[in-house]
Amino acid sequence: MNDLSEKFKYWNPYVGGALLGVVLFLSFFITSHGLGASGGVNRVAVAVQDMVVPEHVDKSPYLAKLAGGDIDPLRHWLVLEIVGVMLGGFFSGLLRGRVRLQTYHGPQITPRTRWAFAFAGGILMGYGARLARGCTSGQALSGGAVLSVGSWAFMFAVFAGGYGLAWFVRRLWQPGT
Amino acid sequence: MAPLDLTGMFGVTGSYLVYIGIGFCFGFILESSGFGDSRRLAAQFYFSELRVLKVMFTAIVVAMLLVFWASALGLLDYDELMVKHTWLWPGIVGGLIMGVGFILGGYCPGTSLVSTATLKIDGMFFLFGHIVGVLAFGETVGYFYEFWNSSYLGRFTLPELFGLETGVVVLLVVCLALAMFLGFGWIQRLVYGRGDPQ
């Protein structure tokens, strides 16, 4: 590839990781909890659901806890945090010329195939993240750093699921056969 | 002593700005580390690029050391921190489903936000799927509510599980991270004859 994205290298992963660790620590120090992502997306989704079918939301015990009656699911730190995540990601990309409409896909598949799998993977990720009460950010990273047993079990389960299936779906990502 | 009383110090609007600021740094670092690119994330599972492992475990180790040093110095009250509570089996089953979602979809929730923010179409499809997934969970959790609330162990930490001093566990986690960096790097060189590409 000869596009701009190759001109600006990504950070050394150990440097990026160390900076992320400092931010995670500051989050705990200042706010008492770690970072999050899927919980924020969940609240936005439920807020939309609450606008469309409010009676349905009030009737489901799980949804009512998030958005029942007068509760506004958007008044929560997670929602503000994901707004910040998108702004930060956007600015980082902007500075390095990586804000461009494009599809990242493996060399053996078309963008259209990639979209279908991205959508399907997203559904599983969203469903699993609610089941596990957190995602890579909220559980693995944040719970892992403060030594939560459940977060460590969760983290190994994510890696097990990914590595367990990777060989069978290698055509999605790998070159060659 | 920390954690601080955010709303008390900065008011509601101020606390909102703090959260947007923390999120901004988080998103900036993710994108700068290459996490807006699904190919580089999925590469972890083929050992062709180990960015996910390196960034994640360096972050965990650094944050963990800072948290426990700050606690040891009396600057931070570890008991006041929100340590994720443990529901063991829902966490493990959810994690397995997410691992499958990760290798099929190429992102996790946070990285798909960054990918979408930089206009990657695969990131947008993933994020849209994520929204469908959480809505589907809300509609179906009633069928297995008992399982979802099962194996609850509360605020349960590794030092409690192993009956070890916190400092010992911290040291073990550092060793585990180093061992994984070395072990995964060794497999990578064995398979590809090289380390991570730039």
Burial class (CB in 10 A: 0-12, 13-18, 19+), B153: middle
- Taking contacts as CB-CB distances below 8 angstroms, the residues of chain B near A163 are 45, 99
Q: Compute chain B's Rg from CA coordinates.
A: 19
pLDDT given for residue A176 in this prediction: 79
Q: Where are the domains of chain A?
A: 1-101, 105-177
Q: Is A81 on the interface with B (CB under 8 A)?
A: yes
Q: Is A108 on the interface with B (CB under 8 A)?
A: no
Q: How far apart are CA B108 and CA A122, in angstroms?
A: 8
DSSP state letter for B27: H
Q: How far is B68 from chain A (nearest CA, A)?
A: 9
pLDDT (tens, 9 = 90+) of chain A, 177 residues, equals: 444 445 678 999 999 999 999 999 999 999 999 999 999 999 999 999 999 999 999 999 999 999 998 999 999 999 999 999 999 999 999 999 999 999 999 999 999 999 999 999 999 999 999 999 999 999 999 999 999 999 999 999 999 999 999 999 999 999 976
Mind listing the pLDDT tens digit for each residue in B105-135? 999 999 999 999 999 999 999 999 999 999 9
Tell me whether residues A125 and B81 touch, CB distance under 8 A.
no
Q: In chain B, which among 169-188 make CB contacts under 8 A with chain A?
A: 169-170, 173
What is the residue whose two structure tokens read 């983290």?
A155
Q: Is A1 on the interface with B (CB under 8 A)?
A: no
- Taking contacts as CB-CB distances below 8 angstroms, the residues of chain A near B157 are 146-149
Mind listing the pLDDT tens digit for each residue in B156-198? 999 999 999 999 999 999 999 999 999 999 999 999 999 998 7
Q: Is A120 on the interface with B (CB under 8 A)?
A: yes
